[in-house]
Amino acid sequence: MIVDDSEQFLSVATKHLIRGGLDVVATATNHGEALQRVEELQPDIVLVDINLGAESGVDLARRLVERFPDLHSRVVLISNMDEDDVADLIADTPAAGFLPKTVLSAQAVGDLVDRNHGGSARN
């Protein structure tokens, strides 16, 4: 699942990840949609943009893991910003880690989640 406030990014990223072999079961553009879709669909991995317009992706990552403990180590923060610019934010979240949108791929997502989860995230 991908959460981002840009419909254009959601479309491009979904196609790119599916071509790479990752199933994208849903997308959402805000906290409310994300929480509802996670509850309904129980995705294995949730990619969350750090900047969700007026909302915070970091706050959403926390809420997701609090509400759905099975997502611990399966929430990945994404952004157009460099990792150095968001390192403090990332360190203070339950997210598995961070991927810049410029390197987002099914392989990168799977590798990051596998490292943090201790098993395969590619179902």
pLDDT at 14 over 70: yes
What 3 state SS string does 109-123 have?
A: HHHHHHHHHCCCCCC
Q: Is 107 contained in some domain?
A: no
Domain membership flag for residue 74: yes
Residue 28's CB is within 10 A of a number of other CB atoms, namely 22
Domain enclosing residue 28, as ranges: 2-102
Residues 15-42 have pLDDT tens digits of 999 999 999 999 999 999 999 999 999 9
pTM for the whole structure: 0.90
In a domain, 70, yes or no: yes
Q: What is the mean pLDDT of the chain?
A: 90
Categorize the per-residue pLDDT at 53 as very low, low, confident or very high, splitting at 50, 70 and 90. confident
Taking alpha carbons only, the member of 101, 82, 110 closest to residue 3 is: 101
What pLDDT score does 30 carry? 96
For residue 118, being part of any structural domain is answered with no
Confidence of residue 105 (pLDDT cuts 50, 70, 90): very high
Q: Is residue 56 part of a domain?
A: yes
CATH number of the domain bearing residue 35: 3.40.50.2300
Q: Name the residue with tokens 């959460």.
A: 3
